[in-house]
Copies of this chain bind each other. A is one copy, B any other.
Amino acid sequence: MPRRITGTTPRQDGYRMPGEFEEQECIWMLWPCRCDNWREGAGPAQKAYAEVARAIARFEPVYVCAPPEQYTHALDMIGGTDNIRVIEMTSNDAWMRDCGPSFLVNDKGDLRAVDWEFNAWGGLVDGLYFPWDQDDLAARKVCELAGADSYRTDGFVLEGGSFHVDGEGTVLTTEMCLLSAGRNPQMTREQIEEKLKEYLDAEKVIWVKDGIDPAETNGHIDDLACFAAPGEVVCLYTEDKTHPFYEPSQAAYRFLCQQTDARGRRLKVHKMCATQKPCYLTGAETIKTMEGTAPRKEGELVIASYVNFLIVNGGVILPQYGDENDALAIRQAREIFPDREIVGVPTLEIAYGGGNIHCITQQQPKKKTR
């Protein structure tokens, strides 16, 4: 059933990407196992992924997609859990947000998806590993499983974590990422903006200048800011001038406070704290070096942001780092999402690998008829 749609765009066909806060059908995840990215043979990361999956499964179904050589191990760790299914899927690493599909809905109860070209966050310019062919296939495989027709953007590179939408015509992204040399250097900012509008059904793109993660994702927005609801965004915020995230988060906060969305609403910007102490990688000696993979170094800055949470039906799954601000982040999230249960999950091991809860998940929205 699932087809490739060619010759038209989602906007032309009446499909839009819903906001993450809209009702969801399920969550898709991959399964980590690269010894050249994850500490200690990926065991601690797998434990953290499993905890995230279990936390989400309290709210809605989760599909955890593990490569064949890890299948029974993933089953052992999370199989038989209510609402979790373990599916075989080969991948290069485990970032479903970035290589998975961006799901779309129309008003007639149909589901489709955008299958962005994926090049491991910068391809041969500044990507993180080679090859990335199996990651690039993940969106297609998820679409087959979900029964969703898809739009493939050959020649246009993008990751799901590099933008957020409000589902009502507004896209939030960063110049640092979308104008990076490793993605679509042949395109102008205007051309890229037009692509976002056509494939997400948007009228306005809000361009934050810099993200907090220049090195790996070229500054994905999902570490820095996101929509909590139409007209409301959450932004990383710290007043500690010595914090490595101080400058980009302050700049983003001030910028977002001045913006209006596609419907002309002035954005309400919620502050979300940073960790009190920056996190730095330890135990890098247990990470194997491999040809073709950007090496991890002892003491490198870890992108430990509380903003990299996932909104699910009735809940928010929030990273916890063992930091003094963990509890503050939970309190802030409760104020931002008064109708949702806030579930903290210790995810420092995921941050060590380069992302967090939002980066490792992808929501499939419920079909809707209006």
Instruction: List the interface of chain A (C-beta within 8 A of B).
Output: 1-4, 61, 67-68, 71-72, 75, 79-90, 134, 137, 140-141, 144-145, 147
CB distance from A157 to the nearest CB of B (A): 19
Chain B residues with CB under 8 A of A89: 88
B83 with A1: CB separation less than 8 A: yes
7 tightest Cβ-Cβ pairs between the two chains A and B? A68-B90, A3-B80, A85-B144, A86-B144, A88-B88, A88-B89, A88-B141
Q: Give the residue of B88, B144, B145 whose beta carbon is less than 8 angstroms from that of A90.
A: B88
Chain B residues with CB under 8 A of A72: 137
Chain B residues with CB under 8 A of A71: 90, 137, 141
Chain B residues with CB under 8 A of A61: 1
Q: Give the residue of B79, B85, B145 whose beta carbon is less than 8 angstroms from that of A87.
A: B145
20 contacts between A and B (CB under 8 A): A1-B81, A1-B82, A1-B83, A1-B85, A3-B80, A68-B68, A68-B90, A72-B137, A75-B144, A79-B144, A85-B144, A85-B145, A85-B147, A87-B141, A87-B144, A88-B88, A88-B89, A88-B90, A88-B141, A145-B145
Chain B residues with CB under 8 A of A147: 85
Knowing A71-B141, A90-B68, say if A85 contacts B2 (CB, 8 Å): yes
Chain copies in the assembled complex: 2
CB distance from A321 to the nearest CB of B (A): 31
Tell me, in angstroms, the Cα distance from A81 to B80 when the chains sit together. Answer: 33
A80 with B137: CB separation less than 8 A: no
Tell me, in angstroms, the Cα distance from A72 to B144 when the chains sit together. Answer: 12
